[in-house]
Structure 1
Amino acid sequence: MSDFGPRAPHGPDMSGTHNPLEDMDVHEKGAFDQLIRPDDCYTQDGIYWADLPLMKKIKFVSSYDALEAKRELKGIWSMTKTDPLSPISHYFRNMVLPGAGLGLEGYVLFSIGNLKPLFESTFANCWKSKHGICNPQWVNAVDYLEIAGIIVGQILVGFLGDWIGRRWGLIQDATIMLLGLVMLTAAWGVTQNGWVICYAWSLFIYGIGVGGEYPMTATSGMENGVGSGKVSTKEDRLHRGRKVTSAFLMQGWGQFFNQALLIILLLCFHHGSGNNPYSAVATQWTYRVSFAIPAVGTLWLVYYRAYHMKAASKQLAAAKKKASVTGYDANSLRLTFKYFGFRILATSGAWFANDVFFYGNKLFQSEFIKVISPETHSVMPTWLWNLCNTGVSLCGYYMASFLVDSKLYGRKWMQIIGFLLCFVLFIVPAFHFEYYRAPENIKKFQAMYFLSSFFNQFGPNSVTFLVAAEVFPTPIRASAHGMSAAVGKSGALLASVLYNYIDTQTKFYVVPWFGLAGMVLTAFFLPDTTGLDLKEQERRWEFLRAGREDEYHGPAVHPKHLSWYERWVLRKGRFYDAERDYQMKVEEYRAEWEAAMAQKVTENEKSGESADTDESLLEGHVHTYFHRTSPMFKGMEKPVTAKQDSFALPPAAEADSEDTYSNEKSSR
């Protein structure tokens, strides 16, 4: 049986002679393997999954994924038998609540575009006429100030989240969004132009809170799954991406509910009719009630984050304590640009390209609606088609959540393929524009429109949100995510400005190339973190901070988890050495164990107890090995009384130790 080397400093004696310590060595070896080489990432021979040949890799990953799916389905069935509604409450608690802020902001942000045609129909002299009663610059500023507020929030709250903490960033976001919603609901002016100005600045305030939601939701959702200990759980390694993207997809549900509610409200206030002419009273009631409803939900969100998310900053606090940093970690930001500068280029550049696409997708909508309903002046056809498109987008969100953690597909390929297909679906109508506008070909146009929506969500829109936090270390994770998101939102700003000055045909010529650019940036500069334990990234970061980059040999520098640029140009993969990394981890755990034991001995001496009488110090095979090989406890003759069928993790890992799969491993 091949292996990378000794799995623990003391392995079993294969000579045929028997020693009383041999059984202990066997148990210690298994304990170290389970601790350092978990079976979801390593074969029984101790080979990392990414080191396997292609066919063996497919077999290993597929078999373990099937085992995990079986375990999850069994858990769902067990929950259902106990309480039929418990799976729903579990989904709400673990997927809906973490993404509630994004759901609310998705509801409000996309309502701006939905309400614009209603305002243009009702207040044509203000919103539509170039020489009407309202200043056209302020009418255009409705879009610009909204995006400007988001950019400010993404950068500002990203830094505050790394400085003050994730929890206060989350509370601050919800509070600012609540203020913005109150302003939007109550927006008024002596003249219609004054109302537009008030409306625009209310969107700016709301946008600041929205911008902060991006880095705060991504980082807190990811770090709550990882925890602050040295050992992460299988739940994190196997489902970290799903947890974050499941929170992000609430943005899609926010869009869906907004559009559905606007349709219902207009029918209610416009006497059951959705057709022109719309009265000012019906329009005012429709849009104000549509903003008042999420204001109630946002008020509850402020309460929930203030009183039920008190541990949101746990991992950040642990990282700062380890680095002896109390305020903002400016040194980590400097080192991030030094070592991960091209990652920032990848995350921000790809997000920029995606946002041009995301807003460019709206091009299809107006064009095929004009062909399908050439005589209509009602907003209802537009709203109904948009509702249909949002439903298609939700399918893309869920597919992304389902496959984002697959080691055989994962984040990077999902983003590359998503960008590629968006490029194709835009470039085809760009050069055959009149053909696809013809009524007899409009269904092909519709198909491309819906497919572009699907692959935008099942691709770059979901992945950019995840990887902008995942590929950076904890101390500056929110800052890096905020900067990437701000650059991305400038792509939306570019689209909203550019589309006012070029015709539809030209728009189709321009937009596709951003998809191609996003694909190239992703391929060359974005690392693939699918299947990578984030604790390995934190270990590597400790070496980088200490100026010992060449001494880290773990999976974070495996070629699989590096970008093409890092692998072939910077040659970071040359540091990877699985055997040396294993031995280093044993020594790292020893140092952590000795520090914890020294603290325990000191506490016992102060209380007048004898250290060798504390049974808790002698529990577990990992502890047993350190106990009998550490200079600290030489001369202690008390026999070991550890249970032979279990092992204890080092103190820092105890919180994560409950996620064990020993039965599954034996069955394989």
Structure 2
Amino acid sequence: MGGQHVTTAFLDMRSNEASVFQSLLKPDDSYDVNGVYWGEMSIGQRIKFVRKVDTAEAKREFSSIWSMIKKEPLSPLKYYFRHMIIPGAGLLLEGTWVQAVDYLEICGIIVGQVLIGVIGDWLGRRWGLIQDATIMFVGLLMLTAAWGVTQNGWVICYAWALFFYGIGVGGEYPMTATSGMENAVGSGKVSTKDDRLHRGRNVTSTFLMQGWGQLLNQLVLILLLLLFHHGSSPPYSELVAQWTYRISFAIPAAGTLWLVYFRTYRMRSASKLLAQAKKKASVTGYDNKSLKLTFTHSGPRLLATAGAWYANDVFFYGNKLFQSEFISVLLPGNESVMVGWLYNLLNVGVSLAGYYLASFLIDNKLYGRKWMMIVGFLLDFILFVIPAFNYYYYSHVSGVKAFQAMYFLSSFFNQFGPNSVTFIAAAEVFPTPIRATAHGFSAAVGKLGALTAAILYNYIDTQTKFYIVPWFGLVGALLTWLFLPDTTGLDLKEQERRWTFIRDGRENEYCGVAIHPRHLSLWERWRGVGKVYNAERDYEQRIEEMRHEWEDRGTTRVKFVPLSGSRCSRSHREFTACTLSELNR
């Protein structure tokens, strides 16, 4: 009877163990009750499954928000400020620059994107964030105080101050993207389920602060002009111009100084995930091996993130083509800067709607990142190509309203598409040790698109510009379709797990969900990257990895109880550790 009791207890233990591993390794937000991954379901099953998961998650989030409100009515706003606004505060503040873009500014941004991206991977996210905010603060002081004995002297001083500030602005891209993606997971503030379901929303919610910065910038300029000029009609005196532009830089300088303080004292764990990855790979400085492997294993991904960003920035800059043309038709002979500012204010509002919709749908498994980018590129292509081949009609009174509508729609689909997705994809599809470098490089190539447009537009007429710009949309969509993987719903830690295999020279031994065809680009599928995907073998492999992980931590620290039907304590974590220890024995 004693032996039968022990056997029954052991079978119960194995059953409980299977249940624990099932919940850990096949979570219900990605697998159905039969253990089938959502990417393998038929379209009908997938729609039903995704709708069920999203509905349950929405109820959970609304319930959580309601509980917060009952406890403290303003707590949801405090949560939004802490987790969305503060991480994106750098982008909000850099969105408050004066709209005029010159070559030195763009060059400064490119330098910052590459330089601070490398520093962020070398010295850590925290130091990259602190350094970046400090550069922006000093740059804003230089812009506020820019002066010269002659007009040429002032222009030179202003331009170099803008270059220096641009370095900080450029650095915000890789640092905000990587830290926003890693902070919550690395510090243990969210579960892997939250990472899979809401990582895109969290990062995009940070990025959209750029739109709020642009909105605030335009409002500040309008209010300052009205305050100092007592109206909006030209001519504008030198004194009015001086006060308007200097205060427009001084205001974000104060906010940036606070950002330096916050990043120094309140973001101490920003580099935690990077430190863990380096420790696991026994790297103390910059991970040159990971950088080389990224080019050999992920070169097409880099082509997609950098190339699509280049195409997007040509579009982003090209959007300004519409505004000056329809204003000249609606208000012939207009010389007031206020008109352009007001239309731009409305355009930024439309863009913000695109940002928020992107944030809402970027994690949806039925749409997600890749389709959002492709559709955005194609719709912007259409919106630019229509006036290109009927320019006379749309640039005159008869068609100007439609021309104006295309202007706002192109802004909306640029944000609800490539502008939001490039920001997250350029960090998400690369490993932690070189994530900021890859993002910075992609962003820098993107800014070359803005530089290309800035130079090119000086030498061709407006209709020719419309002939040229649309095709970048097709190029961007094609690069995305061929070379960009879709990481919607894929655990960030699972991607890191695959990278460990690659870095150890065991790429073909990895058979997990990160190489499921759903999460590979067309190019990677054609090369056969996903041919070794095997869900059953991966399940066993992960159990084995967990066993080794617990052995390395020292399972003797787990408290065992005497044998009386079960050897393990009731804690799931201790029970799992005990079970693995028993199996190993």
TM-score tier after normalising by the smaller chain length: over 0.9
TM-score, normalization: structure 1? Answer: 0.84
Which residue of 302, 326, 345 maps to 2:260?
Answer: 302
Structure 2 residue identity aligned to 1:286? T
1:177 aligns with 2:136: yes
Secondary structure at the aligned position of 2:96 is classed as helix
Match of 1:155 in 2: 114
Secondary structure at the aligned position of 1:310 is classed as coil
1:577 aligns with 2:566: no
Contact 2:555–2:581 (CA under 8 A) maintained in structure 1: no
Contact 2:555–2:577 (CA under 8 A) maintained in structure 1: no
Distance 1:462 1:20 in 2: 54
Residue correspondence of structure 1 range 94-493 to structure 2 within 5 A:
94-108=83-97, 111-113=98-100, 143-227=102-186, 232-271=191-230, 273-493=231-451
**Once the two structures are superposed, what CA deviation does each residue of 1:563-612 show, in whole Å capped at 9, x if it has no partner?**
000001x11110110000000000000001112125748xxxxxxxx988
Which residue of 23, 26, 46 maps to 2:15?
Answer: 26
1:588 aligns with 2:545: yes
Distance 1:629 1:591 in 2: 9
Distance 1:327 1:215 in 2: 18
Distance 1:24 1:631 in 2: 10
Larger deviation, residues 289-298 vs 64-73: 64-73
Structure 2, unmatched stretches of 5+, are 1-5
Contact 1:226–1:233 (CA under 8 A) maintained in structure 2: yes
Distance 1:290 1:197 in 2: 19
Distance 1:339 1:633 in 2: 35
Contact 2:17–2:579 (CA under 8 A) maintained in structure 1: no
Larger deviation, residues 84-93 vs 521-530: 84-93
Distance 2:318 2:68 in 1: 43
Shift of 1:375: 2.6
Shift of 1:616: 12
Distance 2:583 2:515 in 1: 34
Q: 1:625 to 1:437 in 2, by over 3 A?
A: closer
Structure 1 residue identity aligned to 2:239? V
Shift of 1:225: 2.7
Shift of 1:21: 2.4
Shift of 1:627: 3.0
Match of 1:71 in 2: 60
Q: 1:629 to 1:88 in 2, by over 3 A?
A: closer
Match of 2:518 in 1: 560
Which residue of 31, 43, 52 maps to 1:54?
Answer: 43
Shift of 1:86: 1.1
TM-score, normalization: structure 2? Answer: 0.96
**Once the two structures are superposed, what CA deviation does each residue of 1:304-356 show, in whole Å capped at 9, x if it has no partner?**
00000000000000000000000000000000001000000000000000000
**Once the two structures are superposed, what CA deviation does each residue of 1:352-408 show, in whole Å capped at 9, x if it has no partner?**
000000000000010001111113211111110000000000000000000000000
Contact 1:400–1:457 (CA under 8 A) maintained in structure 2: yes
Match of 2:487 in 1: 529
**Aligned-pair Cα RMSD in Å:** 2.0
Contact 1:100–1:250 (CA under 8 A) maintained in structure 2: yes
Structure 1 residue identity aligned to 2:216? F
Contact 1:28–1:622 (CA under 8 A) maintained in structure 2: no
Contact 1:162–1:328 (CA under 8 A) maintained in structure 2: yes
Distance 1:228 1:511 in 2: 43
Structure 2 residue identity aligned to 1:62? R
Contact 1:228–1:318 (CA under 8 A) maintained in structure 2: no
Q: 1:86 to 1:624 in 2, by over 3 A?
A: closer
Q: 1:79 to 1:350 in 2, by over 3 A?
A: same
Larger deviation, residues 347-356 vs 142-151: 142-151
**Once the two structures are superposed, what CA deviation does each residue of 1:67-107 show, in whole Å capped at 9, x if it has no partner?**
11111111112211222211111111110000000010111
Shift of 1:298: 0.2
Distance 1:619 1:210 in 2: 52
Aligned positions, number: 577
Structure 2 residue identity aligned to 1:307? Y
Runs of 4+ in 1 over 4 A off after TM superposition: 610-613, 615-619, 631-634
Contact 2:382–2:470 (CA under 8 A) maintained in structure 1: yes
Report which of the two structures shows the higher radius of gyration computed on alpha carbons: 1
Structure 2 residue identity aligned to 1:84? P
**Once the two structures are superposed, what CA deviation does each residue of 1:116-141 show, in whole Å capped at 9, x if it has no partner?**
xxxxxxxxxxxxxxxxxxxxxxxxxx
**Once the two structures are superposed, what CA deviation does each residue of 1:265-307 show, in whole Å capped at 9, x if it has no partner?**
0000002x10011111011001101110000000000000000
Distance 1:260 1:169 in 2: 30
Distance 2:126 2:112 in 1: 16
Structure 1, unmatched stretches of 5+, are 1-16, 114-141, 602-609, 635-668
**Once the two structures are superposed, what CA deviation does each residue of 1:28-81 show, in whole Å capped at 9, x if it has no partner?**
111111111111111111111111111001100011101111111111122112
**Once the two structures are superposed, what CA deviation does each residue of 1:189-242 show, in whole Å capped at 9, x if it has no partner?**
00011111111001100000011100000000001132277x952111100000
